[in-house]
C-alpha cells in the first residue's frame, strides 16, 4: 500500500464516499458545498493548494485521503478519511502517521493538530488513542468553534504508532 499525491482522478473516486450532506459536513467542514460537482469538490478540497495524499491499493484505487498544512504553529492534519469499505483496519492510523511525519518535518513542528466533529465518535476515539488531547483553539474563529480541537506532540505520536 503506497502513499501518493492526490490527483483529480482520486478525488473523483472520493466523491462517492460522501453520499449525503451530513457525511460531507463532518469531513469537509461547514464551507464545503453539497451537493457538489467535480469542480466544486476539487475547489473546496483545496487539493491544488495543500499537500494532499492518498493511500492506494495495488491497483491504484484510493483507500484513504488526508492533507496537512501549517496552522497556528503546528502541523495541522485535515480532511482525513478512509474509504467506507476499509474502515476499522488500521488505515487511519497509518495515514495519520505518514502525514504527521511529512508535515512535521516540512514545518519543523513539534506538535500536530486536527479538528473533529463532536458527533464523529469513532474518529475521535482513534485520535485520542494515538495521543491527541483536546485543547483550546488559540484564535477566535467561529467557523471551527463547533469542532473539537485536538493536539498531539510529534514524538509521542510517533511512539504510539511504533508501539502499535
* Model confidence pLDDT, tens digit, residues 73-121: 999 999 999 999 999 999 999 999 999 999 999 999 999 999 999 999 9
Distance of CA 68 to the CA centre of its chain: 7
pLDDT at site 1: 58
pLDDT at site 124: 97
106, 149 Cβ separation under 8 angstroms: no
Q: Does domain 2-163 have CATH number 3.40.50.300?
A: no
Q: What is the mean pLDDT of residues 45-64?
A: 95
Place of cell 492510523: 93
The model's pTM? 0.95
Amino acid at each position: 500500500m503506497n502513499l501518493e499525491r492526490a490527483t483529480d482522478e482520486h478525488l473523483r473516486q472520493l466523491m462517492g464516499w460522501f453520499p449525503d450532506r451530513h457525511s460531507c459536513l463532518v469531513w469537509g467542514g461547514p464551507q464545503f458545498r453539497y451537493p457538489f460537482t467535480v469542480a466544486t469538490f476539487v475547489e473546496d478540497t483545496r487539493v491544488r493548494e495543500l499537500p494532499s495524499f492518498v493511500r492506494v491499493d495495488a491497483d491504484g484505487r484510493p483507500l484513504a485521503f488526508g492533507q496537512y498544512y501549517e496552522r497556528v504553529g503546528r502541523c495541522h492534519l485535515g480532511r482525513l478519511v478512509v474509504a467506507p469499505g476499509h474502515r476499522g483496519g488500521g488505515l487511519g492510523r497509518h495515514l495519520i502517521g505518514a502525514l504527521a511525519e511529512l508535515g512535521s518535518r516540512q514545518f519543523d513542528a513539534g506538535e500536530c493538530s486536527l479538528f473533529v466533529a463532536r458527533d464523529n465518535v469513532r474518529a475521535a476515539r482513534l485520535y485520542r488513542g494515538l495521543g491527541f488531547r483536546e485543547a483550546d483553539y488559540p484564535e477566535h474563529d467561529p467557523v471551527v468553534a463547533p469542532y473539537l480541537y485536538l493536539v498531539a506532540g510529534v514524538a509521542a505520536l510517533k511512539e504510539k504508532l511504533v508501539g502499535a
